[in-house]
Amino acid sequence: MKKNKDITTRSSVYKRSASSKIEGKAIKWILLACALLSVATTVGIVVSLVVQGWNFFMEVSLWEFLTGTRWSPILKPRAHGVLPLVGGTMLVSIIAILFAAPVGLGAAIYLSEYAADRVRRIVKPVLEILAGVPTIVYGYFALSFVTPSLQKVIPNMIVFNALSAGLVMGIMIMPMISTLSEDAMMSVPRSLRNGAYALGATRLEVASRVVVPAALSGIISSFILAVSRAIGETMLVTIAAGATPRLTANPLESIQTMTAYIVQLSLGEAAFGSLEYNTIFAVGLLLFFITLIMNLIGSLVVNKWRQKYE
Amino acid sequence: MENEITQVTDKEISKNIIISARNLNVYYGNFRAVKDVNLDVKKNQVLSLIGPSGCGKSTVLRCFNRMNDLILSAEVGGSILYNGINLYSAEVDATEIRSSIGMVFQKPNPFPKSIYDNVAFGLRINGYQGDMDEAVEKSLKQAALWDEVKDRLKDSGLTLSGGQQQRLCIARTLAIEPDIILMDEPCSALDPIATLAIEELIRELITKYTIIIVTHNMQQAARVSDETAFLMVGEDRAGYLVETGDTQQIFTNPKEERTESYITGRFS
Amino acid sequence: MENEITQVTDKEISKNIIISARNLNVYYGNFRAVKDVNLDVKKNQVLSLIGPSGCGKSTVLRCFNRMNDLILSAEVGGSILYNGINLYSAEVDATEIRSSIGMVFQKPNPFPKSIYDNVAFGLRINGYQGDMDEAVEKSLKQAALWDEVKDRLKDSGLTLSGGQQQRLCIARTLAIEPDIILMDEPCSALDPIATLAIEELIRELITKYTIIIVTHNMQQAARVSDETAFLMVGEDRAGYLVETGDTQQIFTNPKEERTESYITGRFS
Amino acid sequence: MSSNQAQSSLFPENLRKRKRFGQIIYFLLLSCVLIGIVSLLILLVRILFDGIDWLSWHFLTNFPSRHPEIAGMKSAIFGTIWTIALTGSFTVPIGIGAAIYLEEYSPKSWFTQIIEINISNLAGVPSIVYGLLGLALFVQWMSIGRSVLAGALTLALLVLPIVILAAREAIRAVPDSYRQASYALGSTKWQTQKYVVLPSAMPSILTGVILALSRAIGEAAPIIAISALVYLTFIPTNPLSRFTVMPIQIFNWVSRPQDEFRGLAAAGIIILLLILLGMNSFAIYLRNRYQKQSEE
Amino acid sequence: MARTDFDRDLNTLMDELLSLGSMVQKAVLLSLDALKTRNLTLSKQVINEDDEIDNRAIEIEEKCIDLMATQQPLAGDLRTIITLLLVSSELERMGDYAEGIGKIGLLIGKESLLKPLIDIPRIGDLASNMLRLSLETLVSRDVDGAKRVIFMDDEVDEIYNQIYRELVLMMIENPKNIQRATYLLWVAHDLERIADRATNISERTIFMVTGKKRDFTDV
Amino acid sequence: MARTDFDRDLNTLMDELLSLGSMVQKAVLLSLDALKTRNLTLSKQVINEDDEIDNRAIEIEEKCIDLMATQQPLAGDLRTIITLLLVSSELERMGDYAEGIGKIGLLIGKESLLKPLIDIPRIGDLASNMLRLSLETLVSRDVDGAKRVIFMDDEVDEIYNQIYRELVLMMIENPKNIQRATYLLWVAHDLERIADRATNISERTIFMVTGKKRDFTDV
Ligand SMILES: Nc1ncnc2c1ncn2[C@@H]1O[C@H](COP(=O)(O)OP(=O)(O)OP(=O)(O)O)[C@@H](O)[C@H]1O
Ligand SMILES: Nc1ncnc2c1ncn2[C@@H]1O[C@H](COP(=O)(O)OP(=O)(O)OP(=O)(O)O)[C@@H](O)[C@H]1O
Ligand SMILES: [Mg+2]
Ligand SMILES: [Mg+2]
Ligand SMILES: O=P([O-])([O-])[O-]
């Protein structure tokens, strides 16, 4: 009670709005609604893909879709085996990651362990610019520069091919790997490096035996996320990899990826509700699940191996 | 006759000095952080560096194993004489130095590896050929950690408590059998109990090693060291050496007014 | 007759007690961190809480202004009596409490705002109607910082040195004119010079305020406080109060064996 | 050097080998960085080289045309501006709100955990899938049509996770000590957010928002799914207008076999890149300034 | 910045030491006065007041210990506190001598003194001066002054020897004097001891100021 | 965990104090022996050896100060060190008494003693026992033992008074005895003082162990 008196004496100088408690509650609900929107988005994605895909799977069995090796939804004889699209996607992604993983990791190590501060301050934004270039631009680059250049080396290569799309995709996701890996390595405390140097380690030994192992989870997850990104990439492959659904391991051939197929069909005049129209949702659904699984694995890796410093 | 004796003593003393700084100057870019420091460190003793924050204690300490090389803007003038060789002369390799002059840091920084691998790290990179298990055990014993960890050598070093981590870092340093161990405020992140354990460890280690320790805690310097060097910051913000002497003398009867003021907590 | 006098004295004492903990128990989830603490704090005195790491000093301290509310897993049993009211009773609003019972933290944490705005912050959010400039100046003067910053009130609080930052945080707390100030190791991030300045400030502040300070540094407790409470960790890892008493008594002749062991640096 | 002799009894002489090996690796690592930089240079130079001749004032002010010499991007530029303005106004408040909720208000429960996992996965969902979502949800079911609004809503959902993640990161980076200090001075939760957390997180949040929007500007795939149209000779007048955006216009030109259209595409890319470069540099500037502040 | 609190405590302690010193000095002079004027009440008073001196000395000693416990003095501060601690016990002991003289005053009672007191007041004045000076130089940290005090002790010793010889002669001359002579002998002895202890104080002062190891001059 | 270094230093110091104590005890007994057997060489030896005692005491004192400076003892440790510091100066002073007895030995020279030494060796034994006991109980932190030492002082005082009366009587009986009687008086006085100081040591011991404020019993 005395306390209450105390508070009243305070209020002569302090004017605090009385409604602040209700205000606090309201604000909390509004913010919660914002957060829930993201859940709604996921639900929306799944529902719209499943609902539209449902129509497709009413006509084509899931088994045929997943195991068929020929994809020809428009031209007769129609076939709805998605494997050629999946294969094309994988081919491009594998080429991309084979290029981007070593180069990206190398760049990351260079930047975090070797580069002078000034160099890093210049090079990092440059690489980030590379990551920020729209994929359409990469498509243009692949088509108008990389393919012609490759053709000089491999004369019988056709214009639309998996190799140049994959390589350019590699260039595109390389900065993602280097940035994420470098972040992981930079978050390894300076004190660990000092500890190793003080034991007489060379720079390389510090990098390879202390920093990389300590940042391994970040590095691996950067790889996984980069692959997932490559799988979902659209415009580059639409422009440069061709529109020929074909199950092949030959990078010099023209192929079609899942994403490129969706674009191809969107650009056409397929009527809402037609089987052709619904194919894109079926492919979209598959694409969504593949990337979802990869992303889940990626975040799992991070969580499982994350080392808590400080 | 008496003269002769003095000479012998002189020689004895200089024989006892294991490392010394001569006209040490350290610049960070244009800023002179340390000015004309001359310091002798006696073998198998603990020398502590004390002084107000920013007076260059850490900077001086890092000169002794060329850790300053890792700071790009840092430039060192003068010389560090170790076994008669200037560590800053061209032909000396910093990496090599660091396996003879180890260092322990303010915050315990075990590698995120197993306890065993932490201790073995220095040995492995240096291409140690002997029995690794034995070497690891020996170092952990020296660091008074063996009994606490012998059943969990596979566990990550990070699972240890702060004080144990610091002793692990000391064990790691001992493994490569350095001559000298530099310690930069090794207890400032630890609680009093862990601090005491480290302090006792330091006193035990000097039978084999020479230790230079930077500490903010004057009482720690008093407890732990044989000699104490007091540094201060000049008007030009450069740190300089005010006085070196027997720890007991410094703490009961320092020669310099400035040392007295600092030690008794009076500052102008 | 004598009985009467004793009674009066008793009353006098209880009048002098500004805040007290009664059967305080704190749980973090299922883990009991603090067990049955009873503690009286006298007005215009400094009470220090000492004890080994993890004995619950910070936890107890945070009960006094319900900062534990911010830790989701924390649950508090027992009561804190302040002016005869239990701070943990339902009708008491934690926010309000905190403007009567301020807190200063281990690491100086000025807001990334100007010096002026730092001090004005608490006044503003509490809807202060008076002359802001005057209030800011007064608080900075009380915190012995005015002379050092009066020409740069617009500068960011982060441009100050560590010790100055801590004094800024104290000034910020003084601005809202609390009754009691809680300090959780306020000097552990500072060098000895800055530490001394804060200690002196604390001694000056008790003419107006009551201070409860947690410190790792026994010497600091000895220097700065009128009363000292010693906590320890039990077998069940719960912290409990071993002994409270006059600081001089605790440091020259503690009642409890355990206190003596801790204070003299001997642990079982 | 007596110590060296003492050393070499414990360790064999291997330092020189270790150092040589280190040198070789050093050059390998350096070349990795150079690959990135050189690629970017080639890309930029190539595009500049291809497109510089086609840049002109009327390229910006003309509508697209079958005739390359008079073709321009007016409709695409305005379409982009409309889309981004709408996207930004949806995504920024919601994104920041969600971030504040997750960082500051949410109790630690399975529910929150799900929201968190969900958001980080959404950030990895391919943009074309968002296009499909927009197509089904906004265009078909909600009958908004193939409009700017539908496109903006789709892009807003697309970048929302990015904004939320960036904002959370920024809010998390605000030291806890600020919050504690604020509470200790008697602030309520919302006061703490408003006066302490958000002001110090704002620069980073802004950086994240700009980067997210520049991502949205460059997106073609979802817009293609929503509005296949690429040949528009008008500019949007209201949120329900049909529209196109720059990347789609460029895609259209790229897909044409004639070399002239390649040149137009390159010119379009130059414009697009200039805009993005501008936004990116601003973001980087903001970030650097912020970092410097917090280092002080 | 300075250690205001600690410095204030130290100064208070110095003041208390000074006031204890003047109490002791007063006690010495009073006890001699009482003896000279055969004032038994005064003698009793001196005896009674010694308790106060003892208590004050204990108090100072305790404060020194408290200060050591709470302020961890180092270097000069440490030497100062230790000096205060040791000097307070010297003063306490000096108080005991005054009490001793008081007791002799009572023992002699109203009997006539053996001889008019000449040399004893002289040595008393000297000793009490030394006491005063030793404390003054302690407080003012005056090494030269302290050395002068030590020097004065020689004079005291000389007078004491002279008194001693004289009294022994008187005893031999007249055995009736023996009892009274031994009384006076004790008084002289006590005064000589007071001077000795003042010397000790000054030696401590020199140590306190210079930190030089104590040069122990035998007394 | 314990403060091994510090504990070792403390123990060393205790040992040194003990050994100083036995030096002093030996000096006291020797000086009395010399007196009894009129052995001037022995007396001289005692006198000479006092320097050693003084030096050792100073050494202990310095070590105490060094320990205080470097180990910041608190609570029991602080009391212990302060006790060591104060006790060492008591011992030093006791050494002086032994030296004093030695000097008297020289003054008496080959002259015959006034009377066979009976009571003086008794008080000497008592005092030296008290000295030994006081140190033993100090080291073993034995409060009861310390109290016993304090109790013993009463006996010493009684014997002293008896000797005093006896000697004064002898002087009165035969003025020729006066010189030698006063000599013996000094010896008895010195021994009484030794016992007093042993009492002091025991009082300090009680303080050291219990931390109780010193209960100053006047001596
Ligand atoms: N890497 C660096 N670049 C530039 N200046 C530096 C660097 N490291 C230290 N300094 C400066 O050099 C001076 C000495 O720093 P140093 O860290 O050696 O001091 P210190 O005595 O160890 O201080 P502390 O007790 O705070 O650790 C300071 O003024 C500091 O600001
Ligand atoms: N937020 C928390 N959640 C769970 N347990 C906690 C939390 N905070 C503290 N604890 C535990 O409660 C106990 C007491 O912690 P507290 O921080 O109060 O100790 P302390 O005495 O202040 O220690 P220190 O000296 O290290 O600051 C410890 O065992 C600690 O691990
Ligand atoms: Mg440092
Ligand atoms: Mg704490
Ligand atoms: O008091 P004293 O024993 O030195 O005469």
The pLDDT of residue B6: 40
Residue D172: pLDDT over 70: yes
Q: Look at residue F57 in the predicted model and tell me its pLDDT.
A: 94
As a whole number of angstroms, the distance between CA C174 and CA C143 comes to 8
Lowest mean pLDDT among D228-237, E201-210, F68-77: D228-237
Task: State mean pLDDT over C84-93.
Answer: 88
Closest CA to C14 of C38, C41, C37, C36: C41
Alpha carbon nearest to ligand 1 atom 4, residue? B28
Q: Confirm or reject contact between F118 and chain C (CB < 8 A).
A: no
DSSP H/E element including B228: strand B227-233
Residue whose CB lies within 8 A of the most ligand 1 atoms, among B30, B34, B57, for a mutation test: B57
User: What 3-state DSSP class applies to B109?
Assistant: coil
In a domain, E139, yes or no: yes
Bridge-based pairing state of the strands B17-28 and B227-233: unpaired
Predicted pLDDT at A102: 96
Which amino acid type is present at position B158? L
pLDDT at E72: 84
Q: What average pLDDT does the structure give for chain B?
A: 89
Ligand 5 centroid to Cα of residue E204, in Å, is 17
Give the C-alpha separation, A299 to D251, whole Å.
34
ipTM of the prediction: 0.80
What tokens appear for D190 in the block?
């919302």
| Three-state SS at D125 | coil
Residue B230 to residue B244: CA distance in whole angstroms:
6
Q: Are B232 and B258 in contact (CB under 8 A)?
A: yes
Report whether pLDDT(D117) > 50.
yes
Q: Is residue E217 part of a domain?
A: no
d(CA F190, ligand 5 centre) in Å: 9
B chain contacts of residue F64, beta-carbon cutoff 8 Å: none
Q: Give mean pLDDT, residues E45-60.
A: 94
pLDDT in the model for residue D57? 82
pLDDT digit string (tens) for F115-155? 777 889 999 999 999 999 999 999 999 999 999 999 999 99
- C-beta atoms of E4 and C252 within 8 A: no
Phi-psi region for residue D100, left (φ > 0), alpha (ψ -120 to 50) or beta? alpha
DSSP string, B185-224: STTTTS-HHHHHHHHHHHHHHTTT-EEEEE-S-HHHHHHH
Give the mean pLDDT of D233-250: 84
Q: Is the pLDDT of residue B170 over 50?
A: yes
Q: For residues A31 and D102, give the distance between their C-alpha atoms in angstroms, rounded to a whole number.
A: 9
Whether the CB-CB separation of F89 and F57 falls below 8 Å is answered with yes
Parent domain of F201:
3-210
pLDDT class of A7 with cuts at 50, 70, 90: very low
Whether residue D263 contacts residue D54, with contact meaning beta carbons closer than 8 Å, is answered with yes
- The percent of residues in chain D predicted with pLDDT above 70, rounded, is 92
Residue C145 has a pLDDT of 92
Q: Would the pLDDT of D8 be above 50?
A: no
What's the rounded Cα separation, in Å, for the pair F146 and F133?
A: 8
Task: Give mean pLDDT, residues A53-79.
Answer: 86
* CA quadruple D5, D10, D16, D22: dihedral, nearest 10: -150
**A39 contact residues in D (CB cutoff 8 A):** 114-115, 118
Q: What is the mean pLDDT of residues D119-125?
A: 88
Residue D1 pLDDT > 50: no
Which residues approach ligand 5 with their CB closer than 6 A?
Answer: E 93, 193; F 93, 193
Q: Report the gap between the CA of B91 and the closest CA in chain D (Å).
A: 12
With cut-offs at 50, 70 and 90, classify the pLDDT of residue D3. very low
Q: How far is the CA of C57 from the centre of ligand 2 (A)?
A: 8
Preferred mutation among B161, B248, B260 to probe F, highest tally of F CBs within 10 A: B248
- Kindly report whether the global pTM for this prediction surpasses the value 0.95: no
pLDDT at position A310: 38
Hey, is the C-beta of B22 within 8 angstroms of any chain F C-beta?
A: no
For residue B107, what are the contacts with CB-CB under 8 A and spacing of at least 6?
A191, B189
The reported pLDDT for the residue numbered A244 is 86
Model confidence band, residue F33 (pLDDT cutoffs 50, 70, 90): very high
Tokens describing residue F195:
């016992």
pLDDT range class, residue A19, cuts 50, 70, 90: low
In the structure, what pLDDT confidence band is assigned to residue B132 with cuts at 50, 70 and 90?
Answer: very high
Return the structure tokens found at A129: 């610019």
By three-state DSSP, how is residue F102 classified?
helix
Determine how many CB atoms are found less than 10 A away from the CB of residue C266: 17
What would the pLDDT profile of A122-171 be if each residue is shown by its tens digit?
Answer: 888 888 888 889 999 999 999 989 999 999 988 888 888 999 999 999 99
Each residue of E142-179: pLDDT tens digit?
A: 999 999 999 999 999 999 999 999 888 888 888 888 88
Do F56 and F138 meet the contact criterion of CB atoms below 8 Å apart?
Answer: no
Mean pLDDT of chain A: 86
- Ligand 1, CB cutoff 6 Å, lining residues: B 28, 33, 51, 53-59, 71, 73, 216, 239; C 191
pLDDT, residue D229, reads 67
Report the share of chain F in percent with pLDDT over 90. Answer: 68
Tell me the percentage of chain B whose pLDDT exceeds 70.
94
Instruction: Name the residue among A265, A262, A259, A266 with its Cα closest to residue A231.
Output: A259
Neighbours of chain A (3+ CB pairs under 8 A): B, C, D
What separation in angstroms does the CA of B266 have from each of A267, B233, E213?
82, 15, 24
d(CA A258, CA A238): 10
F112 interface with B at CB cutoff 8 Å: no
Residue E105: pLDDT over 80: yes
pLDDT of D291 reads: 61
Query: Residue A11: pLDDT above 70?
Result: no
E185 touching chain F per CB within 8 A: yes
Q: Are D184 and D245 in contact (CB under 8 A)?
A: no
Q: Across all residues in chain C, what is the average pLDDT?
A: 89
The percentage of chain F sitting over the pLDDT mark of 70, rounded to a whole number, equals 95
Kindly state the average pLDDT of the residues A239-243.
Answer: 87
Q: What's the pLDDT at D12?
A: 56
Cα–Cα nearest to A38, from D104, D138, D91: D91
Q: What is the DSSP string of chain E?
A: ---HHHHHHHHHHHHHHHHHHHHHHHHHHHHHHHHHHT-HHHHHHHHHHHHHHHHHHHHHHHHHHHHHHHH---HHHHHHHHHHHHHHHHHHHHHHHHHHHHHHHHHHTTSPPSS--SHHHHHHHHHHHHHHHHHHHHHTT-HHHHHHHHHHHHHHHHHHHHHHHHHHHHHHH-GGGHHHHHHHHHHHHHHHHHHHHHHHHHHHHHHHHH-PPP-----
Q: Is C173 in the pocket of ligand 2 (CB under 6 A)?
A: no
Query: Is E65's Cβ below 8 Å from some Cβ in F?
Result: yes
In a domain, E219, yes or no: no
What is the reported pLDDT for D292? 55
> A188-197, A225-234, D230-239, F78-87: which range is least confident on average?
D230-239
Q: Distance between CA B253 and CA F69 in Å, rounded?
A: 10
**Most confident listed range (A183-197, E17-31, F157-171):** E17-31
Q: Residue B70 gets which letter from DSSP?
A: G
Q: Span F72-98, mean pLDDT?
A: 92
Measured in Å, residue C258 CA sits from the centre of ligand 2 at 21
Adjacency order of strands within the sheet including C180-184: C85-86, C74-82, C17-28, C31-42, C239-246, C227-233, C46-50, C210-214, C180-184, C101-104
Q: Which of residues 185-214 of B touch A (CB under 8 A)?
A: none
**pLDDT over threshold 90, residue A272:** no
DSSP assignment of chain C equals -HHHHHHHHHHHHHHHEEEEEEEEEEEETTEEEEEEEEEEEETT-EEEEE-STTSSHHHHHHHTTTGGGGSTTEEEEEEEEETTEETTSTT--HHHHHHHEEEE-SS----SSBHHHHHHHHHHHTTB-S-HHHHHHHHHHHTT-HHHHTT-TTSBGGGS-HHHHHHHHHHHHHHT--SEEEEESTTTTS-HHHHHHHHHHHHHHTTT-EEEEE-S-HHHHHHH-SEEEEEEE-TTS-EEEEEEEEHHHHHHS-SSHHHHHHHTT---
Amino acid type, C250: I
Which tops the pLDDT comparison, D162 or F115? D162
- Category of F113 on φ-ψ map: left (φ > 0), alpha (ψ -120 to 50) or beta: beta
Residue that wins the pLDDT comparison between B171 and B91: B171
Mean pLDDT of B167-174: 94
Rounded to whole angstroms, the Cα distance separating B124 from A209 reads: 10
Closest-CA residue of F relative to B252 is F69
Q: What percentage of residues in chain A have a pLDDT greater than 70?
A: 91
Task: Judge whether E215 lies within some domain.
Answer: no
Confidence of residue B14 (pLDDT cuts 50, 70, 90): low
Provide the 10 A C-beta neighbour count for residue A250.
Answer: 11
What does the domain layout of chain A look like in residue ranges? Answer: 2-58, 71-305
- Lowest mean pLDDT of C89-98, C139-148, D68-77, E13-22, name the range: D68-77
Task: Give the residue, by CA position, lying nearest to ligand 1 atom 30.
Answer: B54
Banded model confidence at residue C76, pLDDT cuts 50, 70, 90: very high
One-letter amino acid of F200: N
Tell me how far apart the alpha carbons of residues F80 and C262 are, in angstroms, rounded to a whole number.
Answer: 17
pLDDT of A104 above 60: yes
Mean pLDDT of D60-80: 82
pLDDT given at position C172:
94
Question: Does the pLDDT at position C5 exceed 90?
Answer: no
pLDDT exceeds 70 at position B231: yes
How many Å lie between the alpha carbon of E203 and the closest alpha carbon of chain B?
16
| Tally of structural domains, chain E | 1
**Structure confidence at residue A306 as a pLDDT band (50, 70, 90):** low
Q: Residue D109 burial by CB count (10 A; 0-12/13-18/19+): exposed, middle or buried?
A: exposed
What tokens appear for B229 in the block? 């060097």
Residue C53 Cβ inside 6 Å of ligand 2? The answer reads yes
Judge whether F218 lies within some domain: no
Mean pLDDT over all residues of chain F?
Answer: 89
- Per the CB < 8 A criterion, the answer to whether C221 and C57 are in contact is no
Give the pLDDT confidence of C12-29 residue by residue, as tens digits. Answer: 556 689 999 999 999 999
Alpha carbon distance F198, F28 (integer Å): 13
CB contact at 8 A, D37 and B118: no
- Window from A7-11, B40-44, B80-84, F151-155 with minimum mean pLDDT: A7-11
Answer yes or no: CATH 1.10.3720.10 is held by domain A71-305. yes
Write the CB contacts of C241 (distance below 8 Å, at least 6 apart in sequence).
C36, C37, C38, C39, C229, C230, C231
Least confident of A73-82, B140-149, D182-191: A73-82
Q: What is the mean pLDDT of residues C173-188?
A: 93
CA distance B133 to B122: 14
Q: Are B97 and B91 in contact (CB under 8 A)?
A: no
Q: Which CATH number fits the domain that encloses residue E131?
A: 1.20.58.220
- Residues from chain D that touch C67, judged by Cβ atoms under 8 A, are 180, 183-184
d(CA C107, CA C96): 24
Six token digits for residue C243? 């002994």
Place of tokens 């009353």: C11
Look at E74 and B253 and tell me if their CB atoms are within 8 Å: no
Name the one residue in this structure whose structure tokens are 């889940």.
A296
